[in-house]
Amino acid sequence: MTNRKFALGLLTASALIVGLYSSAHADVISGSSSSYGEAVDLAVTPLGLPLLSITSGPLATASGTAPGSYSQSGSALSANVLGVLTTGLLDANASSNIDGTAGAKSASADATVNNLGITLLGALGITADTITSTSTVSGDDGALTTSGGATITNLMLNGAPVLTAGLLPNTVLLDLGGIEVILDAQSVSDTADSASISNDAIEILLDDAVAGLDLLNGSIVIAESEAEMAATPSGNTTPEIGRASGR
C-alpha cells in the first residue's frame, strides 16, 4: 500500500509539473507591420496669396496584419515632387510568421529610398545615395523584443557631408528657423505582452519656416517602417493536475 501511495504521489507531482509547463506556453495572438518610401504633406503660404497644399504618397507601400502569416512588397521607380523632392527607386517590404500557433514569432518591415534629393523650395538641401529603415518585433509572451534603425549613405546637408556611421535614434541634424531634421526618428513601446517600434530614416518637420517669401508648414518623411505584436499565455491559467488510480 505504501508503494502504491508513493507511486500515486509521483504521478500527481509529474502531472502538476506538466500542467504548469503547459500553461506557461504562449500564443502570439496578433501583429502587424508596414512601410513606405516617402510621404510629403506641406502647406505653403505665399505672400499675399491663398494657401497652397503640396502632397505626395505614401509612395511604395507594403503592409500586413496577422494572425495569418504574410509577406508583402511594394516599389516605385521614382518620386518627383516639383520644387521639393526627387528620388530613384523606392522599395517597401512587410512580413510576419504569426499563424496562431504557440511559440516565438516575429513581425517586421523595411523601406529603402535611393538617390534622394530634397530642395524644399530653396530653404533646405538634402541629398543621399541610399536611405533604409527597418523595424522588427520578435519573441513570445513575456519576452517580446524590438529592434531596428536607419542607415543612410553619403548624406549631404546643404552641400556639406554628414557623418552617419553608428547613427543613433532620434539624432537631430538641424533645428533652426522652423526647420527640424531628425535622423532615425524612432518610437518604441515595450510591455510584457505587447511591443511596437517605428523608424523614420529621415523626418523633416516644418513650423512657419521661411522659404523666400513663403511660409512652410508640415512634414516630409523618408523611409518609414513600423512593426507591432501582442501575445498572451495559452491554455488554462491554472495548473492542470492529472489523476491516477490503482489497486
Residue 26 is predicted with a pLDDT of: 54
Per-residue pLDDT reduced to its tens digit, 198-240: 999 999 999 988 877 778 899 999 999 999 999 877 653 322 2
**In which band, very low, low, confident or very high, does the pLDDT at 48 lie, cut at 50, 70 and 90?**
low
Q: What is this structure's pTM?
A: 0.82
CA angle 103, 106, 110 (to 5 degrees): 175
Residue 18 pLDDT greater than 80, yes or no: no
The alpha carbons of the chain give a radius of gyration, in whole angstroms, of 26
Q: How far is CA 203 from CA 36, 62, 236, in A?
A: 13, 19, 45
188 or 246: which carries more pLDDT confidence?
A: 188
Report how far Cα 178 is from the mean position of its chain's Cα atoms.
27
C-alpha to C-alpha distance for 196 and 107, rounded to whole angstroms: 10
- According to DSSP H, which parts of 146-191 are helical? none
Residue 14 pLDDT greater than 60, yes or no: no
Per-residue pLDDT reduced to its tens digit, 58-112: 999 999 999 999 999 999 999 999 889 999 999 999 999 998 888 889 999 999 9
185, 189, 194, 199 alpha-carbon torsion, rounded to 10°: 0
**In which band, very low, low, confident or very high, does the pLDDT at 50 lie, cut at 50, 70 and 90?**
low
**In which band, very low, low, confident or very high, does the pLDDT at 24 lie, cut at 50, 70 and 90?**
very low
Residue 35 pLDDT greater than 80, yes or no: yes
